[in-house]
């Protein structure tokens, strides 16, 4: 999902595998990689040196994208964090508010909150993908600032829409149907109205059935 010829920024780079792969393959011409922890950054430095890419990958001890603007990134990867933290990092980086910068995001939790932030702050042109590793489904999306908010339903804020990886959609929908089953059960047990949650669940079931899936009993 990283655009070819990009100047990449990878936030929370950990071992720097993403910038090494992007720059090493020629996909990106340069990368800025940051982490808030010294330990992972030292491991990243060793990996970058071993790959012979020290002149093309800059490593920084930094919180979020603070300091990244000086390197003029036009593609930003923020992966492996909670959706609310990703939203906070984007909010604190006003240089991202231009169509010239592509965001590639992978929330580990709170995808609803991340999409809600993006779409109420003018980030559109959304491309969505799904990936699966060790039985866990990961949601990925890329977007750019357009000033125009795309229209997503409540269920789509949770699970996205128009995924490129159709074979994983049924599994994702099933996961969220089960999630809402538990939410509704808890709300109902407390004597409160679960109407909004039932509506989201109903839309998820409709998407599930339209995807050609057969739900487990």
Closest C-alpha to 78, from 123, 28, 142, 124: 142
Intra-chain end-to-end CA distance of the chain, in Å: 36
pLDDT in tens, 169-209: 999 999 999 999 999 999 999 999 999 999 999 999 999 99
Q: Tell me whether strands 57-61 and 102-109 are parallel, antiparallel or unpaired.
A: unpaired
Please check whether residue 41 is in contact with residue 19, taking contact to mean a CB–CB distance below 8 angstroms: no
What pLDDT score does 152 carry? 94
Query: pLDDT tens digits, residue range 105-127?
Result: 999 999 999 999 999 999 998 89
85-99, 131-145, 153-167, 169-183 — which is least confidently predicted? 153-167
pLDDT band at 167 (very low <50, low <70, confident <90, very high): confident
Q: In whole angstroms, what is the distance from residue 109 CA to residue 191 CA?
A: 28
Give the pLDDT band of residue 217 (cuts 50, 70, 90): very low
Summarised one tens digit per residue, pLDDT across range 44-100 is: 999 999 999 999 999 999 999 999 999 999 999 999 999 999 999 999 999 999 999
CB 148, CB 123: distance < 8 Å: no
Q: What is the pLDDT of residue 126?
A: 86
- CA atoms of 178 and 158, how far apart (whole Å): 13
- Of the pLDDT bands very low, low, confident and very high (cuts 50, 70, 90), residue 165 is confident
What does the mean pLDDT of the chain come to? 94
**pLDDT tens readout for residues 60-70:** 999 999 999 99
Q: Where are the domains of the chain?
A: 6-151, 153-217
Separation CA 70–CA 213 (nearest Å)? 48
Per-residue pLDDT band at 213 (split at 50, 70, 90): low
The b/e string for 151-163 (b: 16+ C-beta within 10 A; e otherwise) is ebeebbbbbbeeb
CATH fold of 6-151 reads: Rossmann fold (3.40.50)
Global pTM value: 0.92
Average pLDDT score over residue span 34-48: 95
């Amino acid at each position: 999902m990283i655009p070819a010829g990009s100047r990449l920024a990878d936030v929370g780079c950990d071992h720097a595998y993403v910038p090494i792969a992007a720059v090493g393959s020629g996909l990106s011409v340069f990368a800025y990689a940051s982490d808030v922890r010294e330990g992972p950054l030292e491991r990243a430095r060793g990996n970058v040196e071993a790959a012979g890419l020290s002149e093309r990958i800059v490593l920084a001890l930094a919180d979020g994208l603070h300091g990244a603007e000086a390197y003029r990134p036009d593609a930003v990867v923020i992966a492996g964090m909670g959706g609310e933290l990703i939203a906070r990092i984007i909010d604190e980086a006003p240089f991202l508010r231009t169509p010239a910068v592509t965001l590639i995001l992978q929330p580990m939790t709170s995808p609803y909150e991340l999409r809600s932030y993006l779409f109420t702050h003018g980030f559109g042109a959304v491309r969505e993908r799904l990936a699966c590793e060790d039985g866990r489904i990961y949601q990925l999306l890329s977007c750019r600032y357009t000033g125009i908010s795309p229209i997503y339903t409540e269920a789509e804020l949770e699970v996205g829409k128009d995924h490129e990886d159709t074979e994983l959609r049924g599994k994702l929908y099933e996961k969220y149907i089960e999630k809402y089953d538990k939410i509704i059960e808890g709300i109902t047990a407390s004597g409160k109205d679960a109407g909004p949650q039932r509506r989201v669940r109903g839309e998820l079931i409709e998407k599930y059935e339209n995807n050609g899936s057969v739900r487990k009993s």
